[in-house]
Amino acid sequence: MNTPKEVVEIVNTLAQTKGQYKINKTLILAFLAGAYVAFGGLLSIIVGGGSPGIAVENPGITKFLFGATFPLGLILVVIVGAELFTGNNAYFMPNVLNKKQGIRTVLKNWGLVYVGNFVGAIFVAYVITHLTHIVSASPYMDSVQQVALTKTSHSFLVTFLKGIGANWLVCLAVWQGMAAKETAGKIFAIWLPVMAFVTMGFEHSIANMYFIPLAIFEGVDITWTTFIVKNLIPATLGNIVGGGVFVGMFYGYLFGGDK
């Protein structure tokens, strides 16, 4: 197993590499990451949302099923390689703290990856899910509606705080994945924190780029403005804080310097 200091060294090298990608490579890798996260979301709807009988008697079990299947997306991102906005919130911070990369490089990467993630998630929501009618009937449609309405019903502050919790755990999952040296260990290390954040109901901006637009495509009474203002903006800001500060900056400060 890699030590925390060795993990930060791996992160620093990866961040340098990510910062040098050409725009088209970044966008393609970001599209793939958005699609992978969306596939995890679809699997969650089919398994967790497809168990209404269990939800009546044991709602915690249903939430666990939802959470236990969702990590497919991040596992694919890490194992096969892709650019995920929320993971990148933490990647660059140790190098920024040690002045090895500038904030301009970080913001360029985040902006490109965010756009690519959005396109990938929307593609799976509309083309792979909506047009194939996979979730158009009950109980899956009921789950799609409930998830989207719940995610757009909170105040800005609540969604922001849930965004912190989500990406704190997502970036810890990425960090743990880099601590493990074998593929099986990486998968389990990623699975556990991601399962936890989904089961607990936190807000992940890239996942929500799939869940809420899918509901809109399926005819749920939510507007794009409501999606962006009530969920996407506060969740994104919370994700930046959760990953960038609580993982990237803290571990970069603790293990990334020469002091």
Q: How much is the average pLDDT of 25-37?
A: 98
Question: Quick one: pLDDT at residue 258?
Answer: 57
DSSP string of 184-214, one letter each residue? HHHHHHHHHHHHHHHHTT---HHHHHHHHHH
Report pTM: 0.96
State how far the Cα of 79 lies from the Cα of 180, in Å rounded to an integer.
Answer: 12
- List, for residues 80-105, the tens digit of each pLDDT value: 999 999 999 999 999 999 999 999 99
Q: How much is the average pLDDT of 63-90?
A: 97
Q: How much is the average pLDDT of 205-224?
A: 98
Instruction: Break the chain into its structural domains and give their ranges.
Output: 4-253
CATH entry, 4-253, from 3.90.550.10, 1.20.140.10, 3.40.50.10310, 1.20.1080.10: 1.20.1080.10
Q: Looking at beta carbons, which pairs linking 59-66 to residues 24 or more positions away fall under 8 Å?
A: 63/198, 63/199, 63/201, 64/195, 64/199, 66/198, 66/199
91-95-98-103 Cα dihedral, nearest 10 degrees: -100
- List, for residues 122-172, the tens digit of each pLDDT value: 999 999 999 999 999 999 999 999 999 999 999 999 999 999 999 999 999
- List, for residues 159-200, the tens digit of each pLDDT value: 999 999 999 999 999 999 999 999 999 999 999 999 999 999
Terminal CA-CA length for the chain: 23
Confidence category of residue 53, pLDDT binned at 50, 70, 90 = confident
